[in-house]
Each structure stands twice: as structure tokens, then as C-alpha cells.
Structure 1
Amino acid sequence: MSPSYLLALRPPPEIEARIVAFREAHGVRDAAAVPHITVKARSGLKDDLRWLELLPAVAAATPPIPVELLAPRVFPNGSALYLPARSPGSVRLHLALLDALRPARRFEYEGPQMTPHLTLALGRRDASLNALLDAAGQTFPQPLTFTATELVWMRKPGPGGAYQPVQAWPLSGGAAT
């Protein structure tokens, strides 16, 4: 099976450590092992990697992005427990990536209606996300804020694997780097 890719914003180490500690305390092991906010899902990110050459320009044209992670929620379809991300800048980056990459097909959640979020746990048959929701509410009672400064390319080797960072480009908003 071939790898899959996504483009993301990463929280700073102190927030990442809190999220990783929560996941470890609750035995969560899934593809979201490295905390991130996806700004471009797999559509159009093909194995030929030609799309990589477009990313430095998009990142350079994007200023650092303020992010506020809100109280935990579960998606209505039960697919994930997550921290919603209040971040108009991440949606703008998502739209800029769609414009630059022009994927032949898009997922239904791509576009201006994209819901920026940081996944705490993916839904599985053997896990109760509602029980985890209570624990997450106690662990993350206040919003977490940070400014994302890089666009990160992440790769998952195949089914059962976790997305890992491969390369990052600074968000500089047109400033010289």
C-alpha cells in the first residue's frame, strides 16, 4: 500500500506534550500520534511529489497563523474526538493550498466550510469517544492558544501507521527569510 500525505500546522512543544500525555494516559494509538491541524488533506497529494515544489511559495505568502484550540468535541459521525481550532488564518491557508494544488478531486469537507481541528483520538470500534470526551474536558478545560509558524508536510507509511513530519516551510507572509 502506498503512503499518504497531508499538510499541517503543528502546536508548540509545550502544547504538543500535553496532548501526547493525554493520549498516552488513555492508551490512544492511531494515525494522529503527532499532534497537528490538517490544512490540506490527501486529495491531490500524489506519490509523484511534484506538488511539493508549490509549497514554499504558498508558505512564504502566508503570515504566521494564530490558533485557539477550544473545548473538546466529538464529530457527530463519531469519527474523532478533537479540539476545534478557532483560526480563520488556517482556513485561508487551506484555500490558498487548494488554489495552488488544484486537486482533480476534493473531499466534501474541503473548501471554505473546512473545520480546522486537532484530533485527540480517532473513532474505533473498541474505544468510547464519549468517555474520552469527559476526560479531555477535564484535561483541556481552558482554550489553548499559539501561533503556527510553519507549514508541515506529514507522511503516513500505510494503513495502521501514524503521520510523521517530513519537512517544514516557514510562514513568513511575504517577509524575507
Structure 2
Amino acid sequence: MTSFQDIVRCDMQYFIGIVLPDEYKEQIAVFRNRWASNRLKDVVEPHITVKAQGGLTEDMGWMNNIRGTCSSIKSFRLSMSEPATFGNAVTFLGVESKEVYYLHKRLVDTVSPRPEQIDRYFELDRFHPHLTLGQTYWGMNETEIEEMKLSAINALAPFPTFHVNYVRVYQEIEQNKYIPFEDIRLGANKRSD
């Protein structure tokens, strides 16, 4: 039986992210959960978005193209860095890696989202790789955002460096709830150190 929500919104969305090493991913999850108001834990696991939803349509025609692009990109090193904020609305950990910008651009070029989607999702020239810790959109207030940033400096250090060997496609299974859909390995595990 089709529900009202299915009729209103039948298009499932996807995005592509980089997954953290398990131990640090768990450390991030525990840290985020210290704020009861932080509903981000109900949305998706800790990750670094490298290709937002624009152009990743339900017909899945893009998937083979993404696999092909990923197979041509070497694995690379990525470093997490100091917490920061986007205004008073988002606390995040920074990401340091020139290769992540290359990966992002290649994925966007592969999918070819419409210009308004590129703008909406802050892609290409507006891309700022990061790992979101908390956000006012997901329930936190501005005071908590600042408190979280200050607390993350000590609670999440030392900030790790790790190899990115694959990306993860996430699928929206209900509105604002994403789960892992498929992991796609980067090309031949060749590292560009």
C-alpha cells in the first residue's frame, strides 16, 4: 500500500562520501551524541561528502559512470584538521588533501548536475570538504555550536591522517535518513603519497 509520504516524495536521493577509519568514526559518533539536541546521528553516519545529491537520480544511470571514474583515480592520503564553523550554524572538522578536490571535480564532471544543483549543494568552486559535527538545522542552537567547536579541539585530537581507498554511496531510505548503499573502490589501490 502506498503511503501519503510515498506519493508526496517518491524520489530517493543519493550522495557520495568518504568514510573514516572505524575507530575514529566511532569517536566522532560518541562525541556528536554528547549533545542531546544533535539529531545528525539520526540522519547519517559520520562522513566527508565528496559529491552531493545533485544529478544522482533514482534511475541509477550515473552509477556505472561513477564506478568508471573511481577506477581511474588513485587512492590518496587525507588529514582531518582543527574544528571550525560555518557562521553560527555548523561545527565541522576540516579536511586537508588536494586530492579530495580532484576527486570531487571528477565526480561532478562525471554526473554533470544542472548549474542550479551545483550552486545549491556548494559544489566545484564552492566545495569546502569537511566533516559535520553538529548543525542548527539538525536541532542544535548557536551556543551549542560554539561549545561543540571548542570541545572538539581536545576531544577529537589528535586529528588522524588516513588513506582513502574507496568512496561510499549513501541512499536516502526515508526523508532525511541515509544508509550505506555501495562502496566503490578507487583505482587499483595505487596510492599517490
Pairwise TM-score range, normalised by the shorter structure: 0.7 to 0.9
Query: Structure 1 CA distance, aligned partners of 2:187 and 2:26?
Result: 25
Q: CA deviation at 1:32?
A: 5.2
- Which of 66, 77, 93 matches 2:77? 66
Matches within 5 A, 1:69-80: 69-76=80-87, 78-80=88-90
Q: Deviations over 1:100-141 (max 9, x none)?
A: 111123333211441111111122354321121122122123
2:160 aligns with 144
Q: Deviations over 1:7-30 (max 9, x none)?
A: 111111011111011112223322
Q: Deviations over 1:54-104 (max 9, x none)?
A: 11111111111211111111112x342110101111110111111111112
Bigger proportion of residues as helix = 2
TM-score by length of 2: 0.81
TM-score by length of 1: 0.88
Contact 1:67 1:146 (8 Å CA) reproduced: yes
Larger Rg: 2
Query: Structure 2 CA distance, aligned partners of 1:52 and 1:140?
Result: 34
Matches within 5 A, 1:28-177: 28-30=38-40, 33-76=44-87, 78-105=88-115, 106-108=117-119, 109-124=122-137, 126-127=140-141, 128-161=144-177, 163-172=178-187
Aligned CA distance change for structure 1 residues 174 and 65 (closer, same or farther; 3 Å): closer
CA RMSD of aligned residues (A): 1.9
Q: Which runs of 4+ in 1 moved over 6 A?
A: none
5+ residue gaps, structure 1, are none
Q: CA deviation at 1:49?
A: 1.3
5+ residue gaps, structure 2, are 1-8
Provide the identity percentage: 23
Count of equivalent residues? 173
